[in-house]
Structure 1
Amino acid sequence: MAAEAGGGSNLIEVVTLLGAAVVAVPLFRKLGLGSVLGYLAAGLAVGPFGLALIDDPQTILHVAELGVVMFLFVIGLEMNPSHLWSLRGQIFGLGSAQILTCGALLTCVGLAFGFPLAVSFVCAMGFVLTSTAIVMQLLGERGDIATPRGQKMVSVLLFEDLLIVPLLAIVAFLAPPDAENTRTAGELWRSIGIAAASLGALIAAGLWLLNPMFRLLARARAREVMTAAALLVVLGAALMMELGGLSTAMGAFVAGVLLSESSFRHQLEADIEPFRGLLLGLFFLAVGMSLDLAAVAANWTLILSGVLAMMLVKGLCIYAVARLMKSPHDEALDRAILMAQGGEFAFVLYQAAVGQGVISGEVNTNMTAIIVLSMVLTPLVVVAHKRFARPLAPSMEGVEEARDLHPAVLIIGFGRVGQIASQGPIAHGERIAIIDNDPDVIRNAEPYGFKVFYGDGARADILRAAGAQHARVILVCVNDPVAATRIVELIKEECPQAKVLVRASDREHALALVQKDADWVVRETFESALLMSREAIMALGTDEAQADEAMSELRRRDAERFVLEANGGPFAGRALLLGNIDYVPPPPRNGGSPEPAET
């Protein structure tokens, strides 16, 4: 009966946590406040300092830290070793510059509050360690993890994860001579050796054991065993690093990097993703529950002034370092806002400092409250900045603007449609120029041999710089109906010599483009839908000739409806002459000429 009672109590806590998340997160996202703040608020509401429905947040926090571990594993899967090596300058250069600058100035903040040098240093370095969970979650919600600005933040976070080991060693050196658990220099070197051995063992296992293991399990065709193996890799790597005194999150990240070029990468990511999302949400709930409102009330002047001073100083330091490293203002400000809080590794550092007698229990309690408050305030600052600041300018790193081009074919917009449409002119050996107004599209195209220039096709000066006045054909492939219509209108005014081929989003958009005198308009879903229809009737037993005849009839009827929708205006006849708008004559059969378009 006792066991049943205990199980019922645990089940109540699980249901409470899930219920709080299900109610709070959608509500906060609806209000535009983000999911992180929703989790934190829900945790505060159900925790011991709220409704007291759950009274042991530390136990939940230890379990929920696995969410951060799994998050770092997924990030590692996206970074192959060569890419990680290319970030070495950012990891050690930008990371060390930011850590040293912030650490020095935050130590001065502690001294200004009247704390001794050792206490000020430990408190400052704990606050320097940014919350990986919060920054990664916010970057993920914005889709910025893979962007250059996001990669710089990831690099700094990786350096901070590496920093926890030397910081723990420094704490041991700072310990008073009579403090318990004080370690000798020999013991410290032994700890460093164990850490290096653990890291080496993990790398060796990743290089020579993991892929053969997954190949063996894949042959067994047991889906649940593959999921168990994925969890084993993540948790095993975290445990190996923990036994070596290193960061568990760093261990998971290293395992992810080692598997980033594996053929099982996508399978691993799919297996881990549900656990990662759930445990990361649980982590934010536990952080919210950990906010000790009683401690805040008892020392509210110290804690509130401390959190404001430390966030402000850290944010200014991050901004200054970013600007010195040649980052633009918008990017530097964004980094300062996202990374101005303390993080979860500060809890580990402060606990070790208490055990070594470097800081008192009261300082630990106050600093923990400051860290948690800074984590709570960060999503609010992000929301306020998003609401009141001007939109964040896209990073132009690695992007070149169009100027003095002389193409035969100009392609405006290089998404899925533009990429496919470019293949014909390229195969024909024509000179082409491509412009797009999304820097990420431009950077992503470069590894595949495409030179895409930055430019907005709705501006006359950009069209001239891209050589539109020299082009014989201009393909407008943008995924914005309003912009496409404006571009066509501008091209017809500025470049009457060019034939204009346009992607239309739907029938109404196609009518608008015809009225702007576009030379050829193709609705983006029409031809693909007809091809599916043709394959469907062929699968039912119709031969190719009958299928082609049926598709021709569908095109003819659609063209007739298109003309009727033009209301008999002056463009009705032109709509048919343009190829009947989406009417493409079927390919020649038996070497004959194509069937003429029905008009």
Structure 2
Amino acid sequence: MFIDIILLLSIAVALVALFQRIQLPPILAYLATGIVAGPHGFQLIVEQADIELFAELGVVFLMFSLGLEFSLPRLLSMRHLVLGLGGGQVMSVGLIFTVLGIFASLYWSQAFVVASAMLMSSTAIVIKQLAESKLLNTRMSKLSISVLLFQDIAVVPFLIMIPLLAQQSGNVMLIAEQMGWALVKGLFAVSLILSVGRWILPTVFKEIALTRSDELFVMSTLLVALIAGLITHWLGLSMALGAFLAGMMLGEGPYRHQLEADIRPFRDVLMGLFFITIGMLLNLPSLLEDWPRLIIVLVVMMLTKIMLVFVLAKSLGESSRNALSTGLVLAQMGEFGFVLLALAGKLELLPLPLISTLVGVGVMSMAMTPWLINRHQDIVRRLMFQSKVVPKSGLSSPLPGQYIDHVIVCGYGRSGQTIARFLKIEGIPYTVIDRDPVRVQEALNGGEKIEFGDASRREIQMMLGVDKAKSIIITFKDTEKAIELLKIVKPLTDAKVLVRTTDDSTMQKLQDAGATDVVPESLEGSLMMVSHVLAISGVPIKRILKRLQHERQGHYNHLHGFYFGGESNIPFEESEVLERLHAIRLEQGAYAIGKTVAEVKLKEVSYRAVRRQGVELTHVHPDFMFAAGDVILLCGPSRYVKRAEHRLLGDWAG
């Protein structure tokens, strides 16, 4: 088994890289891996049982992630579209495909399963492609997401019904009886898991979060998903149903983003194995021999879904352009369709040749999806016989849970809270991320917009919409963590990144890492004191503001460096980095007398001023020549200031 998995992953890595180059989704690469390695390809994998076990766990984690995204507030805010357009699409497409399946000589139970699989659209591909095409906040996108949301919810009853259909062989009364019993068990499972999630898990995850242990948090997440799946499995229901409920109960809490980020690597790898096992069901030689039927099924499926979505959207008052665009976006078969087909194949409810044909239809429709989304405007224009190019759909308000043109505040200490308060006063959209569970819960109780999670995780920044953010504020004191975060966000966004630090000792490091601006608290505090002193001294407010702006634009030039004293309580490491001021008097015999600044060649320090016969010269150019009695004011890190003093006085002439 170990060799089989390594072999599969090796092929998958190569094919994913190839498919990415030709801009096809990774799902198709996994399916192609299954075709190559499966029994109808090169037969590289003989024993599939162990791989299918891991693949089933992939479905469990996929449903857990789906549960994290599902929330009652989100559903209620979109209920008109979700229930109207989404519910109408599922029922109408399902009914028509079921009837077509019966006319094609399938048992009604088989026709129902086929219809359930074909009515699904690909949430993963559609959302990813809409995001890459900058279309996520269009009206067409909102309509599409409403349908996808209802489809995702509909997966749960389908997962319950398919095993019942397989067990009862089409006996309607027995199926109805079993559905009733399954409903009772389902309600018990929902009550049990949601009760545990409401009263026990928040406390458990709060204690886990307090440990600040990434490993413990990840293991606890996996354990919760698997235990919830095991509970529903014991009740004779799908493991995926339990995982969905577990995700849903945790999705309402503050740990949603961190949970999703932690489980995503496991989900993606295991889902890759799942799609590989689906690809193994694809009998490519047989499909090539029977390609006319494949093309007919593909065309009928896509045209039917496009037309029904168009009619439903129009009946809800949507424009023809948005209705048709939505139909084009949702025309493909989705990953949950493969989940249902795999379950039906495992239960021998559908014959393998039919599953192979349907998988082929799904693969081809998925391959067409990126092109359909990118070209939907041109297709709509041609189908509606419009001579002029149709402009992009107008932007709608962001969907619940989405972010756009907002500020991301990383860290919710005193600085983060102060920033958030002023953003709220000015009506600027923002979100906050913090890893202190007590603080997060307190803020949530107070109605703040805050999420629990590690801000330095790329996945969490993507969930917070870093690619669409206006600015990012880093408020925590850990410089190394701030640099790590800068390295993550800079390739993802063009937003300005403002970093707060204690003093100016790490300004250059942070700027080199990509910070747009660095705000040292000690220097800003000094500036505020200066502004108050100047104000009470009678300096006009405009001149004060101009002076403050000049200092900030000059990177606090006049605030760098200070005189060390005998009571300066500064650690050795900081004293070697912080800039200090040091005055040096050139007595007779000093090395620098009679030499220019360029000839002395001091390194890593700057000349703040030279005082000669009571006159202070602040502009020290390279041709300036030193004379006996000059007092030189140097600024720089301690070790370089000491070297410069030795150089000027002649104690060290190297």
TM above 0.5, yes or no, is yes
Amino acid at match of 2:153: F
Say if 1:36 and 1:284, in contact at 8 Å, map to a contact too. yes
Aligned identity (percent) is 25
- Structure 1 CA distance for aligned equivalents of residues 470 and 196 of structure 2: 47
Determine whether 1:398 maps to 2:397.
Answer: yes
Match in the other structure for 2:158:
164
1:203 corresponds to which of 194, 197, 215: 194
- Structure 1 CA distance for aligned equivalents of residues 108 and 338 of structure 2: 23
Say if 2:31 and 2:275, in contact at 8 Å, map to a contact too. yes
Deviations 1:461-505 (A, max 9, x none): xxxxxxxxxxxxxxxx989xxxxxxxxxxxxxxxxxxxxxxxxxx
- Structure 1 CA distance for aligned equivalents of residues 115 and 498 of structure 2: 62
Say if 1:131 and 1:344, in contact at 8 Å, map to a contact too. no
Map 1:409-558; keep pairs closer than 5 Å: 416=407, 533=504, 536=507
Match in the other structure for 2:60:
69
Deviations 1:295-319 (A, max 9, x none): 4256444344223322332333233
Say if 1:319 and 1:332, in contact at 8 Å, map to a contact too. yes
Determine whether 1:281 maps to 2:272.
Answer: yes
- Structure 2 CA distance for aligned equivalents of residues 543 and 318 of structure 1: 56
- Structure 1 CA distance for aligned equivalents of residues 523 and 121 of structure 2: 66
Unaligned runs of 5+ in 2: 379-390, 399-403, 409-417, 430-446, 450-468, 472-493, 511-519, 528-548, 561-617, 620-654
Determine whether 1:241 maps to 2:252.
Answer: no
Deviations 1:561-581 (A, max 9, x none): xxxxxxxxxxxxxxxxx9799
Q: CA deviation at 1:347?
A: 1.9
TM-score scaled by structure 2? Answer: 0.55
Say if 1:90 and 1:152, in contact at 8 Å, map to a contact too. yes
Say if 1:76 and 1:254, in contact at 8 Å, map to a contact too. yes
- Structure 2 CA distance for aligned equivalents of residues 73 and 215 of structure 1: 20
Q: CA deviation at 1:135?
A: 5.3
Map 1:558-569; keep pairs closer than 5 Å: none
Deviations 1:247-279 (A, max 9, x none): 544432332232134344344233212212211
- Structure 1 CA distance for aligned equivalents of residues 54 and 332 of structure 2: 26
Map 1:4-43; keep pairs closer than 5 Å: 10-43=1-34
Unaligned runs of 5+ in 1: 1-9, 356-360, 400-412, 418-422, 436-446, 450-476, 480-522, 550-577, 590-597
For residue 366 of structure 2, give the secondary structure of its aligned residue in structure 1.
helix
Amino acid at match of 1:258: M
For residue 251 of structure 2, give the secondary structure of its aligned residue in structure 1.
coil
Determine whether 1:377 maps to 2:376.
Answer: no
Say if 1:73 and 1:253, in contact at 8 Å, map to a contact too. yes
Amino acid at match of 1:377: M
Decide whether aligned partners of structure 1 residues 58 and 98 sit closer, same or farther in structure 2, where only a CA change above 3 A counts.
Answer: farther
- Structure 2 CA distance for aligned equivalents of residues 246 and 275 of structure 1: 23
Amino acid at match of 1:275: F
- Structure 2 CA distance for aligned equivalents of residues 255 and 138 of structure 1: 28
Say if 2:122 and 2:333, in contact at 8 Å, map to a contact too. yes
Whichever of the two has the greater Rg, that structure is 2
Decide whether aligned partners of structure 1 residues 527 and 104 sit closer, same or farther in structure 2, where only a CA change above 3 A counts.
Answer: closer
For residue 261 of structure 2, give the secondary structure of its aligned residue in structure 1.
helix
Q: CA deviation at 1:543?
A: 13
Q: CA deviation at 1:13?
A: 0.8
> How big is the alpha-carbon RMSD for the aligned residues of Structure 1 and Structure 2?
5.2
Amino acid at match of 1:396: L
Deviations 1:407-429 (A, max 9, x none): xxxxxx95559xxxxx99x989x
- Structure 1 CA distance for aligned equivalents of residues 524 and 188 of structure 2: 71
Determine whether 1:314 maps to 2:305.
Answer: yes
For residue 50 of structure 1, give the secondary structure of its aligned residue in structure 2.
coil
Say if 2:16 and 2:29, in contact at 8 Å, map to a contact too. yes
For residue 253 of structure 2, give the secondary structure of its aligned residue in structure 1.
coil
- Structure 1 CA distance for aligned equivalents of residues 283 and 521 of structure 2: 75
More helix by share: 1
TM-score scaled by structure 1? Answer: 0.60
- Structure 2 CA distance for aligned equivalents of residues 72 and 176 of structure 1: 28
1:232 corresponds to which of 214, 220, 223: 223
2:341 corresponds to which of 347, 358, 382: 347
Say if 1:64 and 1:282, in contact at 8 Å, map to a contact too. yes
Deviations 1:386-422 (A, max 9, x none): 45444894563338xxxxxxxxxxxxx95559xxxxx
- Structure 2 CA distance for aligned equivalents of residues 21 and 352 of structure 1: 24
